[in-house]
Amino acid sequence: MSNLVAQADQSNWETEVMQSSQVVMVDFWAVWCGPCQMVAPIVEQLASEYAGKLKVMKLNTDEAPEVAGRYQIMSIPTILFFKDGQPVEKLVGVRPKPQFKQVIDSLLAQQSANA
């Protein structure tokens, strides 16, 4: 995992995600999940491309089941996007990178329009 993607867990969820002033992309994943491994390089690329504009986190659902449960994560990978502490977009399953970029660009445009 690159240094641009931070580990989210029960202990830092509040400060890193809920209180973040940036748009936060959280990849809910697990070690044993094949599709999660397919999404991981895309998540890394997006973290690099949007460095400074988007906070990218990964949350291992096996290690933080209470956080995953709070957002009704039923299947992984699930990518949730948070703005002002609220989930605003959700992508479930393996998606092509342009689909991620479309959601991110839309959220960042909304954020800069509201700034």
37 counts as catalytic: no
Contact between 12 and 56 under an 8 Å Cβ cutoff? The reply is no
DSSP bridge pairs for 87: 82
Q: Which long-range contacts (CB under 8 A, 24 or more apart) does 13-20 make?
A: 13/59, 13/64, 13/67, 16/55, 16/57, 17/57, 17/82, 17/85, 18/82, 18/85, 19/85, 20/55, 20/82, 20/85
Cα Rg for the chain, rounded, in angstroms?
13
20 counts as catalytic: no
State the catalytic residue, choosing from 17, 24, 25, 36.
36
State the catalytic residue, choosing from 33, 39, 54, 64.
33
The residues assigned a catalytic role are 33, 36
